[in-house]
Amino acid sequence: MAMSGNVSVIPESRLFASEPDPRWFGNPRNPADVKAQGWTNENWLKSRFHFNFAEYSEGPSSFGVLRVMNDDLVQGERGFGEHPHRDMEIMTFIVDGYLTHKDSMGTEETLGRGSVQFMTAGTGIYHSEHNLSKEPLRFIQCWVVPRSRGLKPHYGSAAGNEELTGARRDQWCHLVSDVMGSMTTPVKINQDCNVFVTELSAGVASKALAIGKDRQAYLLCMEGEIKLAGQDLQRHDAAEIKGPFELEVLSGKSGAYLLVFEMALTRDARRGR
């Protein structure tokens, strides 16, 4: 893990790659010839865990209130069967493909690139997530610990339309904020946590995103490549940032698509090289 002042870079190699049995989630066995199916990996799912989750327990449990960040690549006509959640704020950011969501509150919708869906699991909710197309689906699912338990379940979404796409083009888009705060954002959650996204063109230097002295942030390079505090990050790499810090990045020749969670400062940090 490379460190530079307030920034600790977590390369993809430090993440845990999970490739579970398809039958765990209600899928048929994987086909013998995955190339004939047009699959981009040999298993129906390849999930990169940033924190301890499911069968992985050797890494950090969280970063502040950010409890889960799973980078999921789901092959065509596969998905996660109905399963429960409770007492979490769950956000899913679609990077590529189309995600179809169904839940126990009667919601059913399909969302594409640039969209975000969010759930207050609260006292309990069941949902399923599927890739109904033949093309692969990639999404980032994140869980934030809410400020209180037993909240009323709620579901919402913000479609990746032209307005939302334009709001993140070569600038920071404030996508998520605290329901108790005064900011106007497409998504509101029950925690002091903000989420920003930006999609930078090639060779563009971002505007500074201020991380206060009593704040911290977790950055994921979803696509492309950037230079941050003199260090190079590529697709799937992440960084822990402790304030005070002016978050500025320079995108590479293929541009970059970034996701940033900002929250109150805590002492936790990833250990090891």
Question: pLDDT tier at 143 (50, 70, 90 boundaries)?
Answer: very high
Whether 208 is covered by a domain: the verdict is: yes
Whether 181 is covered by a domain: the verdict is: yes
Question: pLDDT tier at 2 (50, 70, 90 boundaries)?
Answer: low
pLDDT above 60 (res 265): yes
Pairing relationship of beta strands 173-178 and 187-189 according to DSSP bridges:
parallel
Whether 246 is covered by a domain: the verdict is: yes
Listing from the earlier edge strand, what are the strands of the sheet with 66-74? 16-18, 45-49, 66-74, 137-144, 89-96, 116-120, 154-158
Whether 211 is covered by a domain: the verdict is: yes
Output the pLDDT for position 268: 75
Tokens of 154: 């709620």
- Secondary element (H or E) of residue 167: helix 162-168
- If one counts the domains in the chain, the total is 1
Pairing relationship of beta strands 66-74 and 45-49 according to DSSP bridges:
antiparallel
Q: In which domain, by residue range, is 233 found?
A: 2-264
Whether 269 is covered by a domain: the verdict is: no
Mean pLDDT of the chain: 95
pLDDT above 80 (res 224): yes
Under DSSP, the state recorded for 151 is: P
Tens digits of per-residue pLDDT, 65-124?
999 999 999 999 999 999 999 999 999 999 999 999 999 999 999 999 999 999 999 999
- Residue 198 maps to which CATH number? 2.60.120.10
Whether 271 is covered by a domain: the verdict is: no
55: left (phi over 0), alpha (psi -120 to 50) or beta: alpha
Cα 8–chain centre separation: 18
Whether 162 is covered by a domain: the verdict is: yes
Whether 168 is covered by a domain: the verdict is: yes
CB of 32 closer than 8 Å to CB of 111: no
